[in-house]
Structure 1
Amino acid sequence: MNENIGESNFSEKEKLKHILERNAAIKILRKDRKKDKFAHEPLSPRKKFFLMSFAAVLMANGTHFFKYPNHFVIGGVEGASILLSNSLPLSPAFITLVLNLSLLVLAYFILGKNFVIKTGYVSILNSLTALLLSKIMPHTTPFTDNKLLELFCAVLIPALGSSILFNLSASSGGTDIIAMIINKYTNLNIGKSLLIGDSILTLMSIKMFGAEIGLLSCLGLLMKGLVVNQFIASFNTAKLFLIITSKQEEISVFIRDKLNRSATVIDGTGLYYKKDQSVFLCVTNDYEAALFRKYIREIDPRCFITVLDTSSIIGKGFYSTDLH
């Protein structure tokens, strides 16, 4: 009798401990959830200005320390500047500034004042930073003899800056302006215009700087698109849950009250047993996903769960629907 009472008390203690641990986890989750929510609300003008400035400076550093010394022509205005500087007694940074200012003037008359205001700040800051670095920290030789390592840095650093700008619906100007002008007057889309222009510049580097640099530049051009896409996807990740369960009410309460989320519930029927089931579609962030998965398995061990990695979730509680 006493042994049974002891076992019962032990069981109650374990159950209480489990509840307390889960409540503690939910409190931590709520804090992270709050931070995550604010992170995806529309940015204040001050924060957006800071991020745009950071991205422009970051891109300029990658260009100055890695692209220019190695003569990597990975498309863009910087690539054109490297080619021109080989024939003119001017630095690539100065040529980049002149080209960007010229393109902004052209854009003002063709694409309008609003575009120039939005793009001009990043474009000019990027160019001026690279020019300033060339004066106070001149760097004309590569850091290492490893060309692949230099190429990796030449692609990675500016790609991170480009990804930040993309997430802010901003642009660094340059050849983007040419592509948008071509798009305005022809049926050629912006992506194809950029690819054609960048490819021509990169192929020209083979003749000007030799096969090794030219082929590395071609590799860099391919890497740039992949790396930018990967960065953008990593900024906007979330988990999509597809849950088939008979415990609709319990899971609904947890999603609504504990996660402070919502979901879409669809009535479903099993193909084999013809049983009625509830199908949940619910998107969570990475913080919530582990706890959500654990809870579902506890209350319905027979449920069927599919978890997908997703990106570019647009909607309330995730990413702003204002992309302009």
Structure 2
Amino acid sequence: MKKIKEYILITIGLVFVAAGIEYFLVPNDLAAGGVSGLAIVINYYFPSISVGTFMLAANIILFFVAFILIGPSFGAKTIYASLGLSGIIWVMEKFFPIAKPLTNNLLLELIYGILISGVGMGIVFNQNASTGGTDIIAKILNKFFHINIGKALLISDLVVTLGALITFGAEKGMYALLGVILNGAVIDEVIQGINTVKEVKIISSKNEEIKKFILDELGRGVTIYYARGGFTNEEKDMLVVLLSRREFIKLREFIKDIDERAFITVSNVHEAFGEGFKSFD
């Protein structure tokens, strides 16, 4: 069931990526990095080679790198994601093509294209997969040098951006570079937003009821610290729990109903590993 959910999420992400590329970047010759950007450059010189076809051929070569350096799990998902992305783009080119850009505003097209495709790529990356191409290089940099995915993608895409500058001129080349920078930022924000959980610290006279609610109703574990007030010298228990946004809202409403004098602090935790959260894989 978990695997099915992962592949469904990857597919949803791929649709976003394909739409951003095919309907915003390709019609405007905006080669904003990646194999898709390289495909746009190649398509300019060799119109008979479609963007989807070139992406498929290039990604097949890079699959072996993913298997060897990152592992079979990442490689298998990347094969699915890359073939899926190439296939979706091919379907869009074949059955839902557009003859010209949607608007005459190049900057607007770039922003929407990057936002849509960046959200999709963030979803795919978060499932320990990749849309292929330079994303594989970015994942390798992330694994071995602990560079954020967005920044690693920026590094790996600079060569493609240079090719866009030479092919389409300085203006579109600079737009492409801006697109690469925005793309990295969007991906990091999406991944961070998906993985962020709430660390909630609670001091209340109703700790037993609150602990029971967390364990029984939310299905989460709770840690108890012994705290002493600096002003009153009074000793109390402090409950600490990690929750999703939705779970935190339920807990907040429950505490509000039983103890309006409770003291609560909430912090964002960007990633949590272990039971009930992400696995270490």
Q: What TM-score, normalized by structure 2, do the two folds share?
A: 0.82
**CA distance in 2 between partners of 1:53 and 1:60 (Å):** 10
Correspondence for 1:74 among 23, 32, 48: 32
Partner of 2:21: 63
Partner of 2:164: 205
* Percent of matched pairs sharing the same residue: 35
Q: For residue 2 of structure 2, what is the amino acid of its counterpart?
A: S
The secondary structure found in structure 2 opposite 1:196 is helix
Change in CA separation of 1:285 and 1:102 when aligned onto 2, cut-off 3 Å? closer
Partner of 2:155: 196
Q: Does 1:170 find its partner at 2:129?
A: yes
**CA distance in 1 between partners of 2:50 and 2:273 (Å):** 43
Q: For residue 308 of structure 1, what is the amino acid of its counterpart?
A: S
Partner of 1:50: 8
Partner of 1:292: 251
Tell me if structure 2 keeps the 8 A contact 1:238–1:313: yes
Q: What count of residue pairs does the alignment treat as equivalent?
A: 279
Change in CA separation of 1:256 and 1:193 when aligned onto 2, cut-off 3 Å? closer
Change in CA separation of 1:102 and 1:145 when aligned onto 2, cut-off 3 Å? same
**CA distance in 1 between partners of 2:115 and 2:77 (Å):** 24
Q: For residue 145 of structure 1, what is the amino acid of its counterpart?
A: N
In the TM superposition, residue 164 of structure 1 has moved relative to its aligned partner by: 2.0
In the TM superposition, residue 220 of structure 1 has moved relative to its aligned partner by: 1.5
Partner of 1:220: 179
In the TM superposition, residue 174 of structure 1 has moved relative to its aligned partner by: 0.8
**CA distance in 2 between partners of 1:320 and 1:288 (Å):** 16
The secondary structure found in structure 1 opposite 2:45 is coil
Q: Does 1:143 find its partner at 2:102?
A: yes
Correspondence for 1:306 among 237, 246, 265: 265
Kindly report which structure 2 residues correspond to 1:221-236, keeping only aligned pairs within 5 A, or say none: 221-236=180-195
Correspondence for 1:103 among 62, 86, 105: 62
Tell me if structure 2 keeps the 8 A contact 1:244–1:277: yes
**CA distance in 1 between partners of 2:145 and 2:126 (Å):** 26
Partner of 1:87: 45
The secondary structure found in structure 1 opposite 2:198 is strand
Q: For residue 199 of structure 2, what is the amino acid of its counterpart?
A: L
Partner of 2:211: 252
Partner of 1:36: none
**CA distance in 2 between partners of 1:226 and 1:125 (Å):** 24
**CA distance in 2 between partners of 1:47 and 1:295 (Å):** 31
In the TM superposition, residue 181 of structure 1 has moved relative to its aligned partner by: 6.8
What is the root-mean-square deviation in Å for CA atoms of aligned residues? 3.2
**CA distance in 2 between partners of 1:106 and 1:303 (Å):** 54
Tell me if structure 1 keeps the 8 A contact 2:154–2:181: no
Q: Map Cα deviations across residues 8-51 of structure 1 (whole Å, 9 max, x no partner).
A: xxxxxxxxxxxxxxxxxxxxxxxxxxxxxxxxxxx433333333
Structure 2 unaligned residues grouped into runs of 5+: none
Q: Does 1:272 find its partner at 2:242?
A: no
**CA distance in 2 between partners of 1:141 and 1:60 (Å):** 17
Q: Does 1:161 find its partner at 2:120?
A: yes
Q: For residue 177 of structure 2, what is the amino acid of its counterpart?
A: C
Change in CA separation of 1:255 and 1:57 when aligned onto 2, cut-off 3 Å? closer
Q: Which moved more, 1:142-151 or 1:98-107?
A: 98-107
